[in-house]
Chain A
Amino acid sequence: AAGVIQSPRHLIKEKRETATLKCYPIPRHDTVYWYQQGPGQDPQFLISFYEKMQSDKGSIPDRFSAQQFSDYHSELNMSSLELGDSALYFCASSLYLASGGEIRSTDTQYFGPGTRLTVL
């Protein structure tokens, strides 16, 4: 079965540079989530999109922005990178609204392999 695809898998940047992370959800999934996992920590929710509209926002710095495109892929843009931004960034996708129009209240999130960002 197709899974969530993230690119790149690894990224090395200098301080104050910008980075763009891409996420391709499971086909037909309508919701995308971004999480940040620092070293030795649990994943922290950043932001989510449902049908190309931002649906929820967590502890995402103002230096970060994200969007979901018409093909449902999502990009996380990170500017003025800081050393503390070094982390594993996960994208997850879920199906909120099934084809029959019923809401899938469990909307299980399936995670991608992550992008490891290192800021030097």
Chain B
Amino acid sequence: AQSVTQLGSHVSVSEGALVLLRCNYSSSVPPYLFWYVQYPNQGLQLLLKYTSAATLVKGINGFEAEFKKSETSFHLTKPSAHMSDAAEYFCAVKVPGKLQFGAGTQVVVTP
């Protein structure tokens, strides 16, 4: 069965520092992978998606993710954190009929 695992339930970064959120997938077939962001009391917003067209995917708000088959990873990065990046981030894999989400990573940005 396809699944994703997010390493680290909480991440604290300083404003201006690199944001790195880890996601590893388990899949016997080429996966479709997604990163969503959830701001407090809001819905899930699509950040970016991997659909096998390119291994480096650029998303909104300066985020990008790189698909590495050898490491079964799809880590999310942003070069310089902003206070507005404080939110919960979910990695997800498309399985037949639905999305399977990781447990989420809460990002805290400190001044």
Interface residues of A (CB under 8 A from B): 4, 33, 35, 41-45, 48, 55-56, 58, 90, 92, 105-114, 116
B75 to chain A, nearest CB (A): 18
Contact of A111 among B41, B43, B102 (CB under 8 A): B43
**Main secondary structure on chain B at its contact with chain A?**
strand
Residue of A nearest to B34 (CB): A108
Q: Are B43 and A43 in contact (CB under 8 A)?
A: no
- Known contacts: A58-B98, A90-B43. The answer to whether A43 contacts B90 by CB under 8 A is yes
List 21 interface pairs A-B (beta carbons < 8 Å), by A numbering.
A33-B99, A35-B99, A42-B101, A42-B102, A42-B103, A42-B104, A43-B99, A44-B101, A45-B97, A45-B98, A48-B98, A55-B97, A56-B97, A58-B98, A90-B44, A92-B44, A106-B49, A107-B94, A111-B36, A112-B43, A114-B43
B36 to chain A, nearest CB (A): 7
B60 to chain A, nearest CB (A): 13
Interface residues of B (CB under 8 A from A): 32, 34, 36, 41-46, 49, 51, 90, 94, 96-104
> Complex: how many Å from CA A41 to CA B104?
8
A10 to chain B, nearest CB (A): 10
Residue of B nearest to A114 (CB): B43
> Complex: how many Å from CA A4 to CA B44?
11
- Known contacts: A33-B98, A43-B101, A56-B98. The answer to whether A108 contacts B46 by CB under 8 A is yes
B43 to chain A, nearest CB (A): 4
Residue of A nearest to B98 (CB): A45
Chain A residues with Cβ below 8 Å from B34 are 108
A57 to chain B, nearest CB (A): 9
Chain A residues with Cβ below 8 Å from B90 are 42-43
B59 to chain A, nearest CB (A): 12
Q: Are A111 and B44 in contact (CB under 8 A)?
A: yes
Q: Are B94 and A111 in contact (CB under 8 A)?
A: no
Residue of B nearest to A109 (CB): B99
The 6 closest A-B pairs by CB, nearest first: A56-B97, A45-B98, A111-B44, A42-B101, A113-B43, A106-B51
Chain A residues with Cβ below 8 Å from B42 are 113-114
